[in-house]
Structure 1
Amino acid sequence: MDLQISVFLLFILFTAGHSFSCYECMSTTGSCANQNLKTCPSGFSKCMSFTTVIQVGIVKFKDCAADCAVGSMNIGTGNTSFVCCNTDQCNVQDAPVPSNVPNGKKCYSCDEKSCSNILSCSGSEDRCLKATGTFGDQSLAVKGCVSKSICDAETSLLRGVERISCCSGNLCNGAQSVTQSFLFLCCSLLSFILLH
């Protein structure tokens, strides 16, 4: 009997020391075929994956996360679907390509000249997003469509973002004009995705 208890306790000690791991990958070719297994740092107990469709192609990304959400976000210059899971190595599959089937919702989005472009939301994007921040010495605004689950996610990991708000009415995220570079707008999207 003592041997069984000792083996049981030894088993518990070994399983308690097991490290959480996720797949990691960054691909601009549209496929995460060459993904590696990564031991996640302390405090990172979720695996995430996203797929972003931009004009020049598809970007796929996988990694460990402290917090993440499931859903999609479209800011006009890029449309991203997010997948989040909380079991060991659960992000082996790539996040799906975001839906492009309109759902009837409309939100404003920004380009290099203004934030008065009207964007048709698709799939699970049932909210309008409005985010402002400072990156370097430039002020930046990002607007678009987003899933409610992403609005509800923890936002404290977003570096440089001062305000994020979501609203549920059509075109509820305002149409004010901003001056910014197109490249800067794309960099902010990647920062939002990679740092969230």
Structure 2
Amino acid sequence: MHLNIFTVLLFALFAEGHSLKCYQCTGLLGSCVKEEIKCSTGDAVCASQTTVQSIGDASQSMQIKSCTEPKTCVNGSLNLGITRTAITMQCCNTDFCNSRDTSDTSSKKPNEKQCYYCNKNRCFNKLSCAGTEDYCINAKANSDSMSMTLKGCASKSMCDVPSQITQVYTDVSCCQGNLCNSAKSITQNLLLLSWPFISYIMFH
């Protein structure tokens, strides 16, 4: 019995002493100032992420480094028509292996997919998807007392790892096939309610 307790304690000390160490930072204007952190239980890899947020013709790139779980290491984009968020991630499992910034590898080249998206009070606008956006998406966003439906294009990786989206939006569903996310009118402001997703990407 005493031997078993000793073995458990020894293993715990070993695991604590060998926790993965990563760089952590969030840079809203390109690069970011790195700090060293020790990953907590469940955080198995180091990640270096580039997020490009586009609104119309304007875009901004953000660098993010952190500990994360392997399942959240995805590359893809979410296109809501007026706004588009593209994520490029590189993950690794040795101490401080996420020192380098990642480069945006997303493509804006249109593919053959089309989905509905919402603009002002109209949700039957047709959107040409781009790059790896091979699914149509439906979601809801809430802000104060407002709730609205969001539609657009999404990469399969965004649908396969719903935590990338469901931390911010609710009732998320993806479908294949052109214009499979149906049309519906709404009345709220898309830019206002897409901000929570931008904030989540920036600070998590």
Are the equivalent residues in 1 in contact too, given 2:158–2:165 (CA < 8 A)? Answer: no
**Deviation string for 1:40-85 (max 9, x for gaps)?**
3332223441322313431314232244142312222123123252
The residue that corresponds to 2:115 in the other structure is 107
SS of the counterpart of 2:187?
A: coil
Pair 1:171–1:138, CA change in 2 (3 A)? same
Counterpart-to-counterpart distance in 1, 2:33 and 2:203: 22
Q: Which runs of 5+ in 2 are unaligned?
A: 1-9
- Aligned to 2:68, which of 65, 68, 74? 65
Counterpart-to-counterpart distance in 1, 2:51 and 2:173: 23
Equivalence map 1:69-80=2 (5 Å): 69-73=73-77, 74-76=79-81, 77-80=83-86
Aligned-residue sequence identity (percent) comes to 35
Aligned residue type for 1:43? G
Report how many residues are paired: 185
Deviation at 1:107, TM superposition (A): 1.4
What TM-score comes out, normalization by structure 1 length?
0.76
Counterpart-to-counterpart distance in 1, 2:191 and 2:164: 24
Is structure 2 residue 16 aligned with structure 1 residue 19?
A: no
Aligned residue type for 2:39? C
Counterpart-to-counterpart distance in 1, 2:156 and 2:193: 22
Counterpart-to-counterpart distance in 2, 1:57 and 1:22: 28
Are the equivalent residues in 1 in contact too, given 2:111–2:131 (CA < 8 A)? Answer: yes
Deviation at 1:101, TM superposition (A): 1.0
The CA RMSD over aligned residues, in Å, is: 3.1
Equivalence map 1:1-196=2 (5 Å): 17-29=17-29, 31-48=30-47, 49-55=49-55, 56-62=58-64, 63-66=66-69, 67-73=71-77, 74-76=79-81, 77-88=83-94, 89-91=96-98, 92-155=100-163, 158-159=166-167, 161-191=169-199, 193=201
> Would you identify which runs of 4 or more consecutive aligned residues in structure 1 move more than 4 Å?
13-16
Q: Which runs of 5+ in 1 are unaligned?
A: 1-9
Counterpart-to-counterpart distance in 1, 2:104 and 2:164: 26
Deviation at 1:160, TM superposition (A): 5.5
Counterpart-to-counterpart distance in 1, 2:111 and 2:103: 20
Deviation at 1:125, TM superposition (A): 1.3
What TM-score comes out, normalization by structure 2 length?
0.73
